Each structure stands twice: as C-alpha cells, then as structure tokens.
Amino acid sequence: MNQHTRMLPCVLMRAGTSRGPFFLKEWLPDDLALRNRLLIGAIGASDSLQLDGLGGNSSLNSKVAIVSRSVLPDCDLDYLFVQVGVGVKTVDTLPNCGNMLAGVAPFAIEQGLIAALLDTTTVRIHNVNTGAKIDATVQTPNGRVSYEGDARIDGVNGTAAPIFLNFLEAWGAVTGKLFPTGKRIEQVDGVDATCIDAAMPLMIVQARSLGLTGRESPAELDANTDLLIKIEKMRLQAGVRMGIGDVRDSVVPKPVLVSEGDDVNTIVSRYFTPHKCHASHAVTGAIGVATAFALPDTVASGVHRSSGNHLISVAHPQGKIDLGIELVGQGEEAVVQKAAVVRTARKIMQGELHLPEYIYE
C-alpha cells in the first residue's frame, strides 16, 4: 500500500461482545504514523458518532485486529490489538482484547495463514501487546471454519460455534508482576484497591467503598459524574504505582467495581473502558477479576480455594462470563496457572475498505 491508496482489504467481524475490522499485517503500511491515521479513518474516530467509518459510537466497536504469522517459534500467529478513540484521534496498542481475540484464529484460517484440521483446529496466538500466549480452538468440520453452533454468550443474540480460549501466560504480561505495586491491597486516593496485572492491568475496588451496591446499570454509573471523576483520579494514581506511567492518554489500567455474587463461585463486576462502564464485560478483564477472586487477600477475594480446577463466573450487566481457573498452591503461595473461556465469533463482511482522503492530509 502507498500513500495514494484509498482502498484496502478488510474483514469485519463480531468477536465475542466486540466488533471491528480485521487486517492481515501485510495489508497495512509499515509506516506507523500512516498506519495509525489509516485506522483512525477506518473507524471514523474523528466523529463521536463514527458516522464516516466502521465504528459504532462505542469503544466496543472501535477495535481493530492486525494478524500475521508469528515471529516466535512456539506460536502460530501474532495478534496486535488496537483500541481506536471515539470522537478523538487516538490509537492505543497497550491493552489486549480477549473478545477480538476470539476472531483471530478463524480469520487467519480463512486467510490461509493456518491449515485447518478436519474436526477442530487449535492455534497458539501470541498477543503482541502484552506478550501473552493463548491457545484458541476453533470448530473446523471438513477442514473449513464453521461459525454455526449451539454456544451462547451473554450480550450476543442467537448461538454460534464455540471458540475455546486458553490463556497460558497472562499473569504479569504488561508490568512483569501479578501485583505490580507489591501489595495485594493498598489505599489509592483514600480507597482500598487491588492493582493486578492478569491478562489486563486492572484497578479493582469494592463497589461499597464508593457508596454503591455494584448492581447499578452502566447508564446509572455513566450518569454519576462525581463517581467518574473519582475513579479517573484513582486510575491515574494506580497507573503510576503499577509502573505504567502517565495513563491520561491510555486505556489501562481499567477500573473495575466488584461486589458479592449470588453464590460462592460468582463475583459481580462493573468494568470501565476506562471512562464509561462496559455494556457487558471484557474477557481479559474477566480473567483479572476471576484471578483476584480466586486468590486470597485482595479486595475481590472469595472463599478459600484449594489447588485444582474451579469454575468461576463473572457477572456483568448482560449476564455472565464463565471461566475455568486452574489454581496451584495454597495461601499466599497460590497462583493461577491457566484460565479458559468460551467465546463465539461471526464474519459479517469481507471486501474492500474505502478510506477518506482527509486521513492523508
């Protein structure tokens, strides 16, 4: 692609509870500044309604996946996630997105990067943003990707073929430590919080610490201006303490409000993206919440759990995300070895993306 090109190949996919364009790395320019301008134009980020691009007036629909064969010998694919701004010309590659991740393996198989097997195909994905490695298992009857099946995920209509995501090295992926501040609970702007790096850097706070029940709707939380100001003030402090630095222009760490679930294996979560409450929940965020829930001495800790496999549910405004957690060790020595989640994806369209001329100005 050169600076005068106005079209490029594109596959638009719904992946998990997110949606966005998928690109092979070779379809995009090598020049980083040009690539970022292109992605801003592709999404229509300049306009808060995103009328001139593929976005949907939400951070959930302002996401991009860039896929290529992996440079790592033990992985099949490299996946770079890009969070594009809503109403602002920003491009952030610091976070990961577990929902968009669900579309990576089927996209790569259909684009010929991976050969499909006759029943299911398991692909090891290297997330370039965080360094995490994930095994994705896709349904491929007769050697072709199938999007049809009986799996249902909350927040998405209908059913689809299950895609199994097994996160292998998600703990400390961004900062190098599961608890990057060295503490499991600390005071951030006068409120107890747990800063954790498990698939996504999070700042977790008990909802009751901020005078909430934790069952409020996203609309109620978004309308609470004082709450949003307080959370952002805390998030900026947490970013510095976690070693991420000045996070005013970054979407991480993500703030999360948690409260008690309906049973001992469920925790209720309200996940912020970070300046609005997520309509449902990010998968990577659910892994972080489930990890804090399974381990002792965090603001989210549940009942004591022994070594072994545990099914944990993260309840969100649209339902819940079920995760299989493998816990090894006891007490403060306990670690989460694996976290697996079921997602679905669907290819919406494949064709040529027409780019607006103003992105080159």
DSSP string, 111-177: TTSS---SSEEEEEEEETTT--EEEEEEE-GGGS----SSB--TTSSS-B--EEEEESS-BTTTTSS
Residue 153 has pLDDT above 80, yes or no: yes
Averaged pLDDT, 11-15 = 98
Which parts of the chain fold into alpha helices (H)? Answer: 32-43, 98-101, 104-110, 218-222, 225-241, 283-294
Most trustworthy range by pLDDT among 132-136, 216-220, 302-306: 216-220
**Has residue 3 got a pLDDT over 60?**
no
Query: Which CATH number does 186-343 carry?
Result: 3.10.310.10
Q: Which superfamily does 7-162+345-360 belong to? A: Diaminopimelate Epimerase; Chain A, domain 1 (3.10.310.10)
Residue 196 has pLDDT above 90, yes or no: yes
Q: Are 265 and 305 in contact (CB under 8 A)?
A: no
Average pLDDT, the chain: 94
Q: Same CATH topology for 7-162+345-360 and 186-343?
A: yes
pLDDT of residue 2: 47
Extents of the domains making up the chain: 7-162+345-360, 186-343
Residue 259 has pLDDT above 70, yes or no: yes
Range 205-231 average pLDDT: 98
Average pLDDT over residues 5-20: 92
Q: What is the pLDDT, as a whole number, of residue 5?
A: 62
Determine the average pLDDT of the residues in 92-119: 95
Query: How would residue 4 be classed by pLDDT, with cut points 50, 70 and 90?
Result: low
Mean pLDDT of 313-339: 90
Q: pLDDT of 226-256, one tens digit each?
A: 999 999 999 999 999 999 999 998 999 999 9
Kindly tell me if the per-residue pLDDT of 65 is higher than 90.
yes
Q: Which of 300, 226, 301, 311 is CA-nearest to residue 256? A: 300
